[in-house]
Amino acid sequence: MSDGDFVVRAAVPEDDPERVFDVLWQLAPDDARPDATRLATAWPALHAQAGRRLLLAVAGDTFVGTVDTLVAPNLTHGARPYMLVENVVVAPGWRRRGVARALMLAALDDAAAAGCYKVQLVSNAARTEAHRFYASIGFAQSAVGYRRYLTAVP
Protein backbone atom coordinates (compact mmCIF):
# COMPACT_ATOMS: atom_id res chain seq x y z
CA MET A 1 0.00 0.00 0.00
CA SER A 2 1.30 3.46 -0.86
CA ASP A 3 0.22 7.07 -0.74
CA GLY A 4 3.19 8.38 -2.73
CA ASP A 5 5.22 9.69 0.23
CA PHE A 6 5.43 6.35 2.03
CA VAL A 7 4.59 2.68 1.59
CA VAL A 8 3.13 0.21 4.07
CA ARG A 9 4.73 -3.20 4.14
CA ALA A 10 5.32 -6.09 6.49
CA ALA A 11 8.56 -6.02 8.45
CA VAL A 12 11.04 -8.65 7.37
CA PRO A 13 13.86 -10.29 9.33
CA GLU A 14 16.40 -8.27 7.32
CA ASP A 15 15.04 -4.97 8.68
CA ASP A 16 17.15 -3.37 11.40
CA PRO A 17 15.34 -3.74 14.75
CA GLU A 18 17.26 -0.74 16.15
CA ARG A 19 15.77 1.49 13.44
CA VAL A 20 12.29 0.04 13.96
CA PHE A 21 12.63 0.63 17.69
CA ASP A 22 13.51 4.28 17.03
CA VAL A 23 9.88 4.73 15.94
CA LEU A 24 8.43 2.53 18.69
CA TRP A 25 10.27 4.49 21.36
CA GLN A 26 7.79 7.33 20.76
CA LEU A 27 5.32 5.35 22.89
CA ALA A 28 7.46 5.38 26.02
CA PRO A 29 10.44 7.72 25.60
CA ASP A 30 11.10 7.71 29.35
CA ASP A 31 11.73 3.95 29.36
CA ALA A 32 15.28 2.70 29.17
CA ARG A 33 16.23 1.71 25.64
CA PRO A 34 16.79 -2.04 25.34
CA ASP A 35 20.35 -2.94 24.52
CA ALA A 36 21.19 -4.15 21.01
CA THR A 37 21.52 -7.76 22.15
CA ARG A 38 18.02 -7.80 23.63
CA LEU A 39 16.54 -6.26 20.47
CA ALA A 40 18.47 -8.70 18.30
CA THR A 41 17.04 -11.60 20.31
CA ALA A 42 13.45 -10.31 20.26
CA TRP A 43 13.45 -9.53 16.53
CA PRO A 44 13.63 -13.11 15.15
CA ALA A 45 11.22 -14.29 17.88
CA LEU A 46 8.68 -11.71 16.69
CA HIS A 47 8.97 -13.00 13.12
CA ALA A 48 8.70 -16.64 14.21
CA GLN A 49 5.48 -16.16 16.20
CA ALA A 50 2.51 -17.69 14.41
CA GLY A 51 -0.08 -15.08 13.43
CA ARG A 52 2.21 -12.14 14.20
CA ARG A 53 2.81 -9.38 11.67
CA LEU A 54 4.52 -6.05 12.21
CA LEU A 55 3.50 -3.52 9.58
CA LEU A 56 5.82 -0.64 8.80
CA ALA A 57 5.26 2.66 7.06
CA VAL A 58 8.44 3.44 5.17
CA ALA A 59 9.44 6.70 3.48
CA GLY A 60 12.52 6.11 1.37
CA ASP A 61 14.77 4.23 3.78
CA THR A 62 13.20 5.70 6.94
CA PHE A 63 10.67 3.92 9.14
CA VAL A 64 7.91 6.42 9.94
CA GLY A 65 5.19 4.27 11.50
CA THR A 66 4.32 0.88 12.94
CA VAL A 67 1.39 -1.30 13.84
CA ASP A 68 1.97 -4.69 15.46
CA THR A 69 -0.73 -7.31 14.91
CA LEU A 70 -1.44 -10.79 16.16
CA VAL A 71 -4.13 -13.05 14.75
CA ALA A 72 -5.13 -15.42 17.55
CA PRO A 73 -7.01 -18.70 17.20
CA ASN A 74 -10.32 -18.74 19.00
CA LEU A 75 -13.04 -21.21 20.02
CA THR A 76 -15.98 -18.80 20.26
CA HIS A 77 -17.72 -16.87 17.46
CA GLY A 78 -17.77 -19.86 15.15
CA ALA A 79 -14.13 -20.64 15.98
CA ARG A 80 -13.11 -17.56 14.00
CA PRO A 81 -9.85 -15.89 15.02
CA TYR A 82 -9.50 -12.34 16.27
CA MET A 83 -6.78 -9.76 15.78
CA LEU A 84 -5.01 -7.86 18.54
CA VAL A 85 -3.39 -4.55 17.63
CA GLU A 86 -0.52 -2.97 19.55
CA ASN A 87 2.15 -0.35 19.08
CA VAL A 88 0.37 2.00 16.70
CA VAL A 89 3.06 4.66 16.37
CA VAL A 90 3.80 7.41 13.87
CA ALA A 91 7.00 9.46 13.98
CA PRO A 92 6.27 13.07 14.99
CA GLY A 93 7.14 14.64 11.62
CA TRP A 94 4.79 12.23 9.85
CA ARG A 95 1.63 12.68 11.90
CA ARG A 96 -1.56 13.90 10.22
CA ARG A 97 -0.31 12.70 6.83
CA GLY A 98 -2.34 9.49 6.58
CA VAL A 99 0.31 7.15 7.96
CA ALA A 100 -1.73 5.75 10.86
CA ARG A 101 -4.80 5.41 8.63
CA ALA A 102 -2.84 3.50 5.99
CA LEU A 103 -1.29 1.22 8.63
CA MET A 104 -4.63 0.51 10.32
CA LEU A 105 -6.44 -0.09 7.02
CA ALA A 106 -3.71 -2.58 6.07
CA ALA A 107 -4.18 -4.32 9.43
CA LEU A 108 -7.96 -4.43 8.90
CA ASP A 109 -7.41 -5.94 5.44
CA ASP A 110 -5.17 -8.60 7.02
CA ALA A 111 -7.83 -9.34 9.66
CA ALA A 112 -10.55 -9.73 7.03
CA ALA A 113 -8.30 -12.01 4.94
CA ALA A 114 -7.66 -14.16 8.03
CA GLY A 115 -11.39 -14.46 8.70
CA CYS A 116 -11.22 -12.59 12.00
CA TYR A 117 -14.50 -11.74 13.68
CA LYS A 118 -13.06 -8.65 15.42
CA VAL A 119 -10.03 -6.42 15.71
CA GLN A 120 -9.27 -5.30 19.23
CA LEU A 121 -6.94 -2.67 20.58
CA VAL A 122 -6.44 -0.74 23.78
CA SER A 123 -5.28 2.83 24.03
CA ASN A 124 -4.05 4.85 26.98
CA ALA A 125 -7.00 6.77 28.46
CA ALA A 126 -5.10 10.05 28.10
CA ARG A 127 -4.67 9.69 24.31
CA THR A 128 -7.97 11.36 23.38
CA GLU A 129 -6.71 12.44 19.94
CA ALA A 130 -5.88 8.81 19.15
CA HIS A 131 -9.35 7.79 20.32
CA ARG A 132 -10.94 10.21 17.84
CA PHE A 133 -8.76 8.71 15.12
CA TYR A 134 -9.80 5.14 15.98
CA ALA A 135 -13.46 6.19 15.95
CA SER A 136 -12.95 7.81 12.52
CA ILE A 137 -11.94 4.43 11.06
CA GLY A 138 -14.84 2.52 12.56
CA PHE A 139 -13.68 1.46 16.01
CA ALA A 140 -16.08 1.90 18.92
CA GLN A 141 -15.27 2.11 22.60
CA SER A 142 -17.00 -1.03 23.82
CA ALA A 143 -15.21 -2.33 26.87
CA VAL A 144 -13.37 -1.40 30.03
CA GLY A 145 -9.77 -2.49 29.86
CA TYR A 146 -7.37 -3.51 32.59
CA ARG A 147 -3.62 -3.87 32.66
CA ARG A 148 -1.19 -5.19 35.13
CA TYR A 149 2.41 -4.32 34.41
CA LEU A 150 4.92 -6.86 35.62
CA THR A 151 8.35 -6.23 37.04
CA ALA A 152 11.01 -6.17 34.36
CA VAL A 153 13.08 -9.30 33.94
CA PRO A 154 16.85 -8.71 33.63
Reported as a single tens digit per residue, the pLDDT across 65-121 is 999 999 999 999 999 999 999 999 999 999 999 999 999 999 999 999 999 999 999
What percentage of the chain exceeds 90 in pLDDT? 76
Write down the domain spans for the chain.
Answer: 7-136
Q: At residue 4, does pLDDT exceed 80?
A: no
Res 32: pLDDT: 85
Q: At residue 3, does pLDDT exceed 70?
A: no
CA distance 23 to 3: 19
| Alpha carbon distances (Å) from 123 to 24, 25, 48, 120 | 15, 16, 26, 10
Res 29: pLDDT: 85
Confidence band, pLDDT 50/70/90 cuts, at residue 62: very high
Confidence band, pLDDT 50/70/90 cuts, at residue 56: very high
Class assignment of domain 7-136? alpha beta
Residue 14 corresponds to which amino acid?
E
